Amino acid sequence: MATEVKVPTLGESVTEASIGELLKNVGDAVAVDEPIVSLETDKVAVEAPSPVAGVITEFKVEVGDTVEVGAVLAVIEEGGAPAAKGEEAGRAAEQREEGKEERAEASAPAASSDASQTLSPAVRRAVLEHGVDPSTIKGTGKDGRLTKEDVIAAAKAKKDGGTIADAAPAQAATPSAPAGERREERVKMTRMRQTIAKRLKGAQDNAALLTTFNDVDMSAVIEARTRYKDLFAKKHDIRLGFMGFFAKAACLALKDVPAVNAYIEGDEIVYHDYVDISVAVSAPNGLVVPVIRDAQDKGFARIEKDIADFGKRAKEGTLTMEDMKGGTFTISNGGVFGSLMSTPIINPPQSAVLGLHRIEDRPVVVDGEIVIRPMMYIALSYDHRLIDGREAVTALKIIKEAIEDPTRMLIDL
């Protein structure tokens, strides 16, 4: 009996997606709920699972296609080998044989290759092209699955004399060109990247963006982390980071300056008596902003666990639409990439975003003397249609004071 695999419901207001990757081949056996197609939506990557156990007889889509919810992705013959006839049977058998040959070639570099490892077509091509053993590469995809970037990074590490196991996935394949030859490569933007581009450009077009800056002496926070990091980790089983401090400091500021935690909807201003902080996280396909719900009621440990979980799931591609829904304020930490200063763009419909940057020792004047302190520039970009300069500067100053004197966060000052 033939069963169609269709595009699942993708979330509220999401009606279509792009085909990111075919995780199986025609002729492959699949189990119930085993992913066979990776879909890219405006915000997240999701996988379409098989509703039955059987053998894939046909794919109705190709990588890069745009599909709507309910569209047919593939056809699966339940139970065993497909009962095809004539030319269709011949094509199916031929495709299955090609799949077997490709898998055999992919595992050829070493006798110890994992024969049960499922490689996508793109990964198999990369394995064959670069001549690496997939069983020696640690996958960074969902459930440890190999990605094309993993293979390219492993090949580069092997070429440079390093070990494949320690190779970090490359951001993009950069084919070597003969000396003097200039090359170009055109790559279609992913649906997520297109959406990011539209939203950021929309923010510039629709909001009256302005940024105010300040600098923060990080000495007190660094001292607190140094003193309590071991006890904190032992009690809460999570590392004490900087984001917890800034999230709690932001909650203080947004409580005192509610306009920074509001947004414009039509001709009305929507105020919130809660703080849902969107945390900008780097994912393989672009920047995503999962939300820490009710941050004003959470302690440092819960906030740090939420952030760590978001980061892990962003890399695995398992964040959901619900994780990124809503948000009243955003924190973006460009400092982890080495940024000294920036003007972050708000995340619509929000009206403000806090930008954090790298910490570096700088000379500052304290009590008339020049001393060296670990300093960080912080920036608050805001929609001037709603937030006045006085309010923006006040909010950023409250954050600065709370970080320089963390006791303020304990006594709500």
Beta bridge partners, 159, equal none
Please list the alpha-helical segments (H only) found in 34-120. 86-107
Confidence check: pLDDT of 108 > 50: no
Confidence check: pLDDT of 117 > 80: no
Beta bridge partners, 5, equal 74
pLDDT band at 210 (very low <50, low <70, confident <90, very high): very high
Confidence check: pLDDT of 400 > 80: yes
Q: Which residues of 249-269 are buried (b: 16+ CB within 10 A; e: fewer)?
A: bbbbbbeebebbbbbbeeeee
Active site residue 384: yes
Look at residue 359 in the predicted model and tell me its pLDDT.
Answer: 95
Q: Among the listed ranges 254-268, 310-324, 345-359, which one has the minimum average pLDDT value? A: 310-324
Confidence check: pLDDT of 168 > 60: no
Q: Among the listed ranges 78-82, 145-149, 324-328, 379-383, which one has the minimum average pLDDT value? A: 78-82
Confidence check: pLDDT of 396 > 50: yes
Q: Which of 33, 384, 405, 412 is catalytic?
A: 384
Q: Which of 65, 230, 256, 388 is catalytic?
A: 388
Active site residue 236: no
Helix pair 148-159, 121-130: axis angle to 10 deg: 10
Classify 1-83 by CATH class: mainly beta
Confidence check: pLDDT of 92 > 90: no
Look at residue 128 in the predicted model and tell me its pLDDT.
Answer: 67
Domain-by-domain residue ranges, the chain?
1-83, 110-175, 192-411
Whole-angstrom CA distances from 182 to 129, 171, 177, 186, 247 are 22, 21, 7, 14, 47
Whether residue 375 contacts residue 362, with contact meaning beta carbons closer than 8 Å, is answered with yes
Look at 276 and 317; give whichever has higher pLDDT.
276
In the β-sheet with 54-59, what is the strand arrangement from edge to edge?
A: 2-6, 72-78, 54-59, 29-30
Superfamily of 192-411 according to CATH: Chloramphenicol acetyltransferase-like domain (3.30.559.10)
**CA-to-CA distance for 42 and 16, rounded, in angstroms?**
9
Confidence check: pLDDT of 44 > 50: yes
